[in-house]
Amino acid sequence: MREEFRILSTTAILGYGFPLQSFEEGMKRRPHLIAVDAGSTDPGPYYLGAGVSFTDRDAVKRDLEIMLKAGMPNKIPVVIGTAGGSGGRPHLDWCRQIIEEIAAENQLHFKMALIDAEFDKEEIKKALAEGLIAPLEPAPPLTPEMVEASSHIVGQMGIEPFIKALEEEPAVILAGRAYDPTVFAALAIKKGYDRGLSIHLGKILECASICATPGSGSDCMFGYIGEDYFRVEPLNPIRKCTTLSVAAHTLYEKTNPYILPGPGGHLDLTDCIFEQETDNIVRVKGSRFVPAQQYTIKLEGAKRIGYRTVSIAGARDPVMIAAIDEIIAGVKERVADNFREKQWEYHLRFNIYGRDGVMGSLEPTPATTGVHELGIIIEATAPTQKQADTICSFARSTMLHYGYRGRRATAGNLAFPYSPSDFHAGEVYVFSVYHLLKTEDPAGCFPISFVNL
């Protein structure tokens, strides 16, 4: 029987950190691969649009330094996906500079593969004109104007670019935007291990110890792939993997518990079995990869729509809380009337915490009965920072002294935890591209280059 392929996953996202003791436990198991997912769309479109990372540079450097200093002398490949948090060209360059800095400071010498995931706008327009791009529901159809307005557009690569890069035997692979499981799965698939099991294991390892109980995004996890199974093991003695915790993590962020779509096909978990092998190790069987008739790559793009100013306040008057919707409507009407002649285009939003602040319009229980205080975030978005400042300031002062039925105190309706009360949140981005690109060459879409450090 073939030897198990062993993978050390360091943390849920590069820069989230991990205990050194857990990492050392992983190294004792002699991994064939050290890998980490470095990004996500979860923090929203700003980081892709602005070309900056949502993770801290010093924290990313700390994690990478430990991984590289262990991987290089032991000839263990280190693979990083979705560099810099969003995987665009500036994010890839940002993370590359950190790696080069670590190599210079620690006298490390190795070959590194760089996989670019950012698409030029003209490429996208050409594919759009050829009918190769379709929206991912509920995104609208893509237009050339939406493409042009986007500051960065990336494609979510599958395993193919990684496998192509691995043919040159680099010690490190740094990739732009990537399907999260691929950084863990590609080398195993290249070595002949089952694609469905490898991608499913990658799906578990991408968030490291979140699949354990108690879960953590800042701790290491270890994976093993055999002929017809994979196993997952936490490396911290305070954690255990159970059939429930591993199965639950398999299902997260999915609308269908059996079908998990990704680049080039989907995982079919209809016959998947989770078994408790030991007190803290779970064995999984039955995962299958089903290739798609047409290979598609998910495109992600972001565009700037303006600037944001926010004001944070609290309210405790039960009469005001009962009338909060009426008050918000009155404040919005007053703001609109005051600046009507300027004909500004702006968006004014009141987010009410203590009553549907988290779920918003999806909240199933919006009533304020029994609520004794509310947190209020006043948010103004406008084409310029100055206009956003003006709208937010006027809305805040109007709400502060707004008269409502039953009010007794006249000193003010709101309590402000900070002075100044208004904050610049800066540029505002929205996802402008969230579409599927048909391709016959899933590796060719992502240019690969090599550098010797």
Radius of gyration of the chain (CA): 25
List the one residue out of 93, 98, 264 whose CA is nearest residue 186. Answer: 264
- Name the DSSP letter for residue 211: G
Q: What is the pLDDT of residue 369?
A: 65
Q: What is the tens place of the pLDDT at every residue in 146-155?
A: 999 999 999 9
Please list, in sequence order, all residues whose beta carbon lies within 8 angstroms of the beta carbon of residue 149, skipping any fewer than 6 positions away.
303, 432
Task: Give the 3-state secondary structure percentages of the chain, helix then strand then coil, rounded to 5.
Answer: 30, 30, 40
Q: Where are the beta strands (DSSP E) in 95-229?
A: 111-115, 133-135, 152-156, 172-175, 221-225
Q: What is the pLDDT of residue 276?
A: 98
List the one residue out of 264, 33, 42 whose CA is nearest residue 160. Answer: 264
Please list, in sequence order, all residues whose beta carbon lies within 8 angstroms of the beta carbon of residue 110, skipping any fewer than 6 positions away.
72, 103, 170, 171, 172, 452, 453
Sheet arrangement for strand 221-225: 273-276, 282-285, 230-234, 221-225, 5-9, 33-37, 78-81, 172-175, 111-115, 448-452
Listed by start position, the domains of the chain span 5-300+433-452, 317-414
Whether the bond between 237 and the residue before it is cis, its omega within 30 degrees of 0, is no
- Answer for the pair 104, 61: CB distance below 8 angstroms, yes or no: no
CA distance 42 to 55: 12
- Name the DSSP letter for residue 110: -
CA distance 162 to 178: 10
CA distance 324 to 326: 5
Q: Where are the beta strands (DSSP E) in 226-332?
A: 230-234, 259-262, 265-268, 273-276, 282-285, 288-291, 296-315
pLDDT in tens, the chain (453 residues): 789 999 999 999 999 999 999 999 999 999 999 999 999 999 999 999 999 999 999 999 999 999 999 999 999 999 999 999 999 999 999 999 999 999 999 999 999 999 999 999 999 999 999 999 999 988 999 999 999 999 999 999 999 999 999 999 999 999 999 999 999 999 999 999 999 999 999 999 999 999 999 999 999 999 999 999 999 999 999 999 999 999 999 888 778 889 999 999 999 999 999 999 999 999 999 999 999 999 999 999 999 999 999 999 999 999 999 999 999 999 999 999 999 999 999 999 999 998 877 888 787 877 656 788 999 999 999 999 999 999 999 999 999 999 999 888 788 899 999 999 999 999 999 999 999 999 999 999 999 999 999
CA distance 305 to 430: 7
Q: What is the tens place of the pLDDT at every residue in 241-251?
A: 999 999 999 88
Within 13 Å and on the Cβ side, how many CA atoms surround 261? 12
Phi/psi zone of residue 178: left (φ > 0), alpha (ψ -120 to 50 degrees), beta?
A: beta
Cα-Cα-Cα-Cα dihedral of 232, 236, 239, 242, to 10°?
10
Q: What is the pLDDT of residue 137?
A: 87
Task: Give the bridge partners for 152, in sequence order.
Answer: 302
- Answer for the pair 373, 354: CB distance below 8 angstroms, yes or no: yes
What phi, psi does 187 have (nearest 5°)? -65, -40
Strands 265-268 and 374-382: unpaired
Return mean pLDDT, the chain: 95
What phi, psi does 24 have (nearest 5°)? -65, -35
